[in-house]
Amino acid sequence: MIRTLRVLGILGFLGLALALGMFLWLPGSEKSRSLQPDDRNVVALGETVYRSHCAECHGQNLEGQSNWRSRDAEGYLPAPPHDASGHTWHHADTLLFNITKLGTASIVGPDYKTRMPAYADVLTDEEIIAVLSYIKSRWPKQIRRRHDRMNEAAKGRE
């Protein structure tokens, strides 16, 4: 009897794990975190979101703030550029999405000094994907291709 319950419990756990795994790998679930820089409608929405929520710090032309690699007197880094001169394209889509949605400190750690807010309560997931897609759409083709290869490699590690 105990053995039967144990087997049923294990089977139930495995079934739940399988169902969760299938949910996480459903077609389209990856796309929900994948940028869409070639979709004109997504990019247009992203530009609007960028102008409303990002340009004040990151610049109208994605140029960032001056001296963005050096901490200021209060220990904060200025907003980095999101163009080809910055480091945004060094991060996979999922990480960029999570930083934007949850905030840098939630990813790096609570002691990280940042003025970058979390946008979970401000933007929808669709708007976050759109703004990141807009940013990527502005990168040169060779950087976009490099970023695409990085995303493919990251999928194998997730």
Residue 17 sits in the same domain as residue 89: no
Question: CA 152, CA 110: separation in Å to the nearest integer?
Answer: 29
Quote the pTM value: 0.78
Residue 113 sits in the same domain as residue 38: yes
Taking only the tens place, the pLDDT of each residue in 103-142 is 998 888 988 899 999 999 999 999 999 999 999 999 999 9
Q: Which residues contact 21 (CB under 8 A, 6 or more apart)?
A: none
Taking only the tens place, the pLDDT of each residue in 85-104 is 998 999 999 999 999 999 99
Question: CA 44, CA 115: separation in Å to the nearest integer?
Answer: 26
Q: Which domain holds residue 18?
A: 1-26
Residue 101 sits in the same domain as residue 50: yes
Residue 100 sits in the same domain as residue 144: yes
Please count the structural domains in the chain. Answer: 2
